[in-house]
Amino acid sequence: MIKIATVFGTRPEILKLSSLMPLLDKSFDHVMVHTNQHYSYNLDKVFFDQLKLRKPNFNLNVGSGTHAEQASKVMERLEKILLEQEPDVVIVNGDTNSTMAAGITAAKLKIPLVHSEAGPRAFNKRIAEEINRIIVDHCSDILLAPHTVAYDNLLNEGIPKENICLVGDPIVSCALRARKMGQNSSIMKQLDIKRHEYVLVTVHHAEITNDIKILKEVIEAINDISKIIKIVFPMHPRTGKFLKSNNITLNKSIKVIEPQGYLEFINLLDNSLFVMSDSGGIQSESVALNVPCLILRPLTEWILYIKAGKNMLIGDNHDSIVSKVKDLLSDDYNIKKMRSTKFHMIKDSDERAINILKNRFK
Ligand code: UD1
């Protein structure tokens, strides 16, 4: 039987692999390796509980640190496991330090590498995730593209066509499943909020949190918007730390809450009027749920949703964010139009990935 090792380490990787991993258990000898780049209950274990995932076979206990510290710990510890386990294939997802380090380790051991969510590009190598994506894509033997733009990016970078497979974005089926599972969640009641009466906000990317000027602009804009409409803000630990250490405060009326479980988060997203975020995954989830996503960045790797009129880039400076939000809120039609615009999303990316693996590794 073909032996497959899946390596993951953070919240988005766990979510995006959550539907694929049980299918791998059924069809292959499957080993799960958690790097533990994310380790707290809110960013890690809650997803195993809610999505009924089995325990990983190995934990690398990497934790937080600089990019080089995280990557080197993953490489050193994963290499031992791969040498001992001798998998026929390694699968990684996305763009984190865990993804990049695991990808290089497998490639150097000449183990065929599959990259799920291959090909999105912001065309800016100052973004840590962009570097990670490019490295893993160019080490991979099978590249599972989440959308047509990602597919074309890979072709343009000279990756052989036969190695690229368009399977769709794995977060789509995950979000739709979570909407059903979490429909009776009490989170809205607990927060005393009603459908379409609030905006959901998340901020955690280093491009914002690690630049005090940008962080201040974004937070000031969020404070100003909170004077017009209710805001719910699940706070990533990275953002919480930077706000505290730079004495940047949020208006009292903003409901700042802990990072949420997936069912609660999707319930909050589904019921929001719109979401403002710098996250990649939320951009796809909001299209799947027909919730407009206003992206707190000057660029995005998921440009096709902007072109389709489902999402909108609002930048990372105060004036641009506030004026675009005010424009949007000035006429009910604007939000209705973004919601009702049709956009086709592939919903069976995991089944497609399994079929590709079965065909390629017999
Ligand atoms: C990482 C990924 C990013 C992904 C994000 C999702 C990289 C380069 N970045 O950023 O692509 O979108 O995960 O969250 O890999 N922390 C906790 N508890 C945890 C994990 C982290 O408190 O469970 C704190 C740590 O103290 C650390 C900070 O959050 O200082 C940042 O952790 P890090 O591992 O760099 O990841 P993220 O910022 O979350």
Question: 8, 10, 60: which to mutate for ligand 1, most atoms within 8 A of CB?
Answer: 10
The distance in angstroms from the start CA to the end CA of the chain is 8
The residues, any chain, with a CB within 8 Å of residue 284's CB and separated by 6 or more, are 146, 169, 171, 172, 175, 302, 305, 345
Atom 22 (ligand 1): residue with closest C-alpha?
237
CA of 356 from ligand 1 middle (Å) equals 31
Cα–ligand 1 centroid distance for 9 (angstroms): 10
What is the share, in percent, of the chain residues with pLDDT greater than 70? 100
pLDDT digits (tens, 9 = 90+) for 315-345: 999 999 999 999 999 998 999 999 999 999 9
Structure tokens at 352: 């497609």
- Residue 47 · residue 53 · CB < 8 Å: yes
Within 8 A by CB and 6+ apart from 107, the residues are 113, 139, 140
Active site residue 204: yes
What average pLDDT does this structure show over 172-192? 96
Ligand 1: residue of 8, 13, 40, 96 to mutate (most ligand atoms within 8 A of CB) is: 96
Q: Please list, in sequence order, all residues whose beta carbon lies within 8 angstroms of the beta carbon of residue 260, skipping any fewer than 6 positions away.
A: 42, 187, 234, 268
pLDDT tens figures, 29-84: 999 999 999 999 999 999 999 999 999 999 999 999 999 999 999 999 999 999 99
% residues pLDDT > 90 (the chain): 99
**pTM passes above 0.85:** yes
pLDDT in tens, 183-226: 999 999 999 999 999 999 999 999 999 999 999 999 999 999 99
Crossing angle (nearest 10°) for helices 349-360 and 20-27: 30
pLDDT tens string 102-120 = 999 999 999 999 999 999 9
Cα separation, 271 vs 261, in Å, equals 16
Catalytic residue among 30, 38, 115, 204: 204
| Cβ of residue 18 lying under 6 Å from some atom of ligand 1 | no
DSSP letter, residue 268: H
| Amino acid (1-letter code) at residue 87 | P
Supply 121's token pair. Answer: 């590009």
Ligand 1 centre from 242 Cα, in Å?
13
Ligand 1: nearest atom to the Cα of 95? 11
| Spatial separation of the C-alpha atoms in residues 20 and 348, rounded to whole Å | 10
Report CA(238)–ligand 1 centroid distance (Å). Answer: 7
Q: Give me the pLDDT at residue 362, please.
A: 81
